[in-house]
């Protein structure tokens, strides 16, 4: 099936739904892979880079760009019970600082946390970590939540074009150590630059492993 599944990244993808609250989630169904991380870490940019479609997920210099759970699927599936997409990528609002009213930030942070711990179709969460900053307290809080909910997650370092070639192996080792005892953490850490197109094939391969 490897040949067939790898086709998902050769097709165009489409945005199908923005979810502002849990009650608007689609019915449980195809495997979902979610992109979590602090505001501005590069979640939406990574989705665009993986899909080779620059403006698909909206990005911004200003933290707090993505404010709903945004669903992306390969094009060509009507979405009926007998024609579901093989996988969905879910772009999420960031946690942490955002340039938006506090009550909005509180609402979408709650949404992210509720989704992460309560979604049966969620097969893997990529927890994105900015290479310049490493794991922060709110990243550790999210990982603890995922450990408790037994939801598999994998660390993806972002913006590696912003750090030196010497700093990267050190960061990898420190990150490896930080997740060593975390029960739901997938041991392999991925390192990416959406800007330079680095590490994308490895993230795609991880996603393909969940394709129906």
Ligand X SMILES: Nc1nc2c(ncn2[C@@H]2O[C@H](COP(=O)(O)OP(=O)(O)OP(=O)(O)O)[C@@H](O)[C@H]2O)c(=O)[nH]1
Contact residues: ligand X, CB under 6 A: 37, 39-45, 59-61, 63-66, 93-94, 158-159, 161-162, 193-195
Closer CB to ligand X, 143 or 211, in the complex: 143
Sheet containing strand 122-130, edge to edge, reads 13-19, 69-74, 88-91, 32-37, 122-130, 153-158, 190-191
Q: Is 159 a binder of Mg ion (CB under 5 A)?
A: no
Q: Which of 5, 40, 44, 154 binds Mg ion (CB under 5 A)?
A: 44
| DSSP 3-state of 85 | coil
Instruction: Phi first, then psi: give them for residue 90, nearest 5 degrees.
Output: -120, 110
Alpha helices (H) along 65-166? 102-118, 137-149
Per CB under 5 A, the segment of 38-46, 107-115, 121-129, 199-207 that binds Mg ion is 38-46
**Cα dihedral sign, 43-210-24-110:** negative
CB 41 within 8 A of CB 102: no
Least separation in angstroms between residue 57's CB and ligand X is 7
Choose among ligand X, Mg ion, none what residue 154 binds, the Cβ cut-off being 5 to 8 Å by kind.
none
Choose among Mg ion, ligand X, none what residue 209 binds, the Cβ cut-off being 5 to 8 Å by kind.
none
Q: Is 39 a binder of Mg ion (CB under 5 A)?
A: no
Where on the chain is the footprint of Mg ion (CB under 5 A)?
A: 43-44, 65-66
């Amino acid at each position: 099936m490897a040949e067939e599944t790898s086709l998902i990244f050769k097709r165009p993808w489409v945005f199908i739904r923005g979810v502002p609250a849990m009650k608007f989630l689609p019915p449980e169904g195809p495997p979902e892979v979610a992109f979590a991380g602090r505001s501005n870490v590069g979640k939406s940019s990574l989705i665009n880079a993986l899909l080779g479609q620059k403006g698909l997920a909206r990005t911004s210099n200003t933290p707090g760009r993505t404010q709903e759970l945004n669903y992306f699927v390969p094009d060509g599936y009507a979405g009926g019970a007998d024609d579901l997409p093989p996988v969905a990528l879910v772009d999420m609002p960031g946690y942490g600082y955002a340039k938006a009213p506090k009550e909005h930030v509180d609402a979408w942070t709650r949404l992210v946390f509720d989704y992460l711990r309560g979604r049966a179709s969620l097969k893997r969460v990529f927890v994105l970590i900015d290479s310049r900053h490493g794991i922060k307290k709110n990243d550790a809080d999210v990982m603890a939540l995922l450990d408790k909910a037994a939801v598999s997650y994998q660390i993806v370092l972002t913006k590696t074009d912003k750090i030196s070639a010497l700093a990267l192996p050190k960061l990898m080792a420190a990150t490896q150590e930080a997740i060593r005892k975390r029960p739901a953490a997938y041991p392999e850490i991925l390192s990416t630059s959406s800007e330079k197109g680095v590490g994308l094939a490895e993230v795609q391969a991880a996603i393909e492993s969940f394709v129906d």
